[in-house]
């Protein structure tokens, strides 16, 4: 699958493509795909709720932009993009879902007025290791019978890396959207867009966004903030170990390679595990996060390995 360097899971770009007034039909197309809306039961309208960050915090490493919307029946839908694995996905998801559900009940309202609340997590890394399903949906059900307690809780996970193992053209709309979000380009992307009007418009918005110098600059600053955050985490994990030990650095580098490049980096990870010099590992930690391709990452590792 052909890919280019644009990162569609960059939360600032994602917000512009899916979370603006001009892109509501893009958002509706995405939501109907993920929620698997039946024919005749598709979402027709959606209202965007304000979740903008204060501009002074936009480039903080820990800043997160997400999308919050409501449907005509009051259903709340929260979409979050997770680029780095912070190892807290289940609890983080439940915490934010619970906050949205709880906040509906202002003074004077009753429990009957609580509306269905849906969370959609888009992950740029693999969280569930037991199989290659890229789309999972969770509800509250009886352990023995599987009977649904209530459909007010619904949580989706889209793991973008797992779509790389799919070698055929998309079989359904959600597969098409996951391929789009995983940065597929070229003729494959053109063919998908021809079959999916929502993705076709998403590409149009994305292209206009990247031609806008100011928007592109903010996009690049968000990319840098994200990379700085990952670099800080790699450094703290690596250097926080006892003096003279390299296990933490090796683990941090391999973890990044797995998150960023998946299976394609496995041989490189084996190479990193053979490096015992702290200086060599330091050089990898300091440079690996700037690599924009697998080839550039391999060059960083090769240089350290050969010293």
- The per-residue pLDDT for range 48-63, each reduced to its tens digit, is 987 654 444 445 544 4
Closest CA to 196 of 3, 55, 82, 33: 33
For 183-242, the DSSP string reads TB-HHHHHHHHHH-HHHHHHHHHHHHHHH-HHHHHHHHHHHHHHHHHHHHHHHHHHHTSP
Question: Which pLDDT score is estimated for 133?
Answer: 94
Question: Which pLDDT score is estimated for 62?
Answer: 47
Question: Which pLDDT score is estimated for 227?
Answer: 74
pLDDT-flagged residues of the chain (< 70): 1-4, 51-65, 107, 229-246, 307
Mean pLDDT taken over the chain = 85
Question: Which pLDDT score is estimated for 11?
Answer: 83
What are the backbone dihedrals phi and psi of residue 69, each rounded to the nearest 5 degrees, phi first?
-140, 160
Q: 136: which strand partners?
A: 157
Closest CA to 78 of 101, 58, 55: 101
- Enumerate the domain spans of the chain: 11-214, 240-306
Question: Which pLDDT score is estimated for 166?
Answer: 87
Question: Which pLDDT score is estimated for 243?
Answer: 43
Question: Which pLDDT score is estimated for 83?
Answer: 82
Question: Which pLDDT score is estimated for 61?
Answer: 45
Question: Which pLDDT score is estimated for 239?
Answer: 55
- The per-residue pLDDT for range 240-294, each reduced to its tens digit, is 544 445 677 788 788 878 877 888 889 998 998 888 777 788 788 777 777 778 8
Residue 70 in contact with residue 45, Cβ under 8 Å?
A: no
Question: Which pLDDT score is estimated for 51?
Answer: 63
């Amino acid at each position: 699958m052909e890919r280019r360097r644009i990162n569609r899971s960059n939360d600032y770009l994602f917000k512009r493509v899916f979370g603006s007034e001009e892109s509501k039909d893009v958002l509706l197309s995405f939501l109907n795909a993920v929620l698997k809306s039946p024919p005749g039961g598709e979402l027709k309208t959606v209202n965007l709720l304000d979740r903008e960050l204060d501009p002074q915090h936009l480039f903080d490493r820990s800043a997160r932009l997400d999308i919050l919307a409501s449907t005509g029946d009051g259903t709340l839908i929260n979409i979050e993009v997770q680029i780095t694995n912070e190892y807290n996905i289940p609890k983080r998801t439940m915490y934010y879902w619970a906050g949205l559900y709880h906040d509906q009940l202002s003074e004077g309202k009753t429990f009957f007025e609580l509306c269905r609340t849906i969370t959609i997590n888009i992950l740029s890394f693999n969280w569930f290791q037991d199989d290659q399903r890229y789309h999972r949906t969770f509800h509250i059900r009886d352990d023995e019978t599987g009977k649904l307690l209530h459909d007010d809780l619904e949580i989706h996970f889209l793991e973008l890396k797992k779509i790389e193992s799919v070698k055929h053209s998309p079989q359904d709309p959600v597969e098409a959207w996951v391929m789009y979000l995983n940065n597929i380009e070229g003729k494959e992307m053109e063919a998908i867009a021809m079959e999916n009007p929502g993705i076709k418009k998403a590409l149009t918005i994305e292209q206009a966004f990247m031609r806008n110098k100011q928007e592109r600059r903010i996009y690049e600053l968000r990319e840098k903030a994200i990379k700085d955050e990952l670099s800080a985490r790699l450094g703290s994990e690596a250097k926080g170990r006892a003096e003279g030990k390299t296990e933490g650095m090796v683990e941090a580098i391999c973890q990044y390679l797995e998150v960023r490049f998946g299976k394609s980096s496995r041989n490189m990870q084996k190479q990193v595990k053979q490096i015992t010099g702290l200086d060599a590992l330091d050089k990898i930690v300091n440079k690996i996060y700037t690599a924009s391709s697998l080839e550039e990452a391999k060059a960083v590792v090769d240089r350290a390995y050969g010293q």
